[in-house]
Homo-oligomer: A and B are copies of this chain.
Amino acid sequence: MKKIMNAPDSFVAESLEGFVRAHEATVMFGGGRKFIRRRDLVPGKVAIISGGGAGHEPLHSGFIGRGMLDAACTGHVFSSPTPDQIVAAMDETDTGAGCLLVVKNYDGDVMNFEMAAEMAAARHAVETVIVEDDAATGPSVRGRGRRGVAGTVVFEKLIGAAAERGADLAALKALGDDLNGRVRSMGVALRGVTVPNNTRETFSLGPDEMEIGVGIHGEPGLHRTPLAGADEIVRLLGERILAELPATVEDVTRQWPLLLVNGFGGTPPIELYLAQGIAHRFFEQHGIVPARALTGTFVTSLDMAGLSLTLALLNTDQFELWCAPVATPCLSW
Contact = CB atoms under 8 A, between A and B. Distances in A.
B305 A274 contact: no
A273 interface: yes
Instruction: Please classify how large the interface on chain A is, using the bins under 10, 10 to 19, 20 to 34, 35 or more.
Output: 35 or more
Identical copies in the complex: 2
A6 B281 CA distance: 15
A15 B293 contact: no
B4 A271 contact: yes
Contacts of A143: none
A300 B293 CA distance: 22
**Interface of chain A, helix or strand or loop or mixed?**
mixed
Contacts of A210: 2
Interface of A: 1-7, 11-12, 14-19, 21-23, 54-55, 57-58, 62, 190-191, 207-208, 210, 227, 229-231, 233, 261, 265-278, 280, 293-297, 300, 302-303, 305-307, 327, 330, 332-333
A268 B300 contact: yes
9 contacts: A2-B207, A4-B230, A15-B277, A18-B272, A22-B273, A22-B276, A22-B295, A58-B269, A296-B330
Pick from A55, A208, A296, A306 the residue with the most CB of B within 10 Å.
A296
B4 A277 contact: no
Closest 4 CB pairs of A and B: A18-B277, A265-B268, A18-B276, A57-B269
Contact of A4 (B19, B57, B274, B295): B274
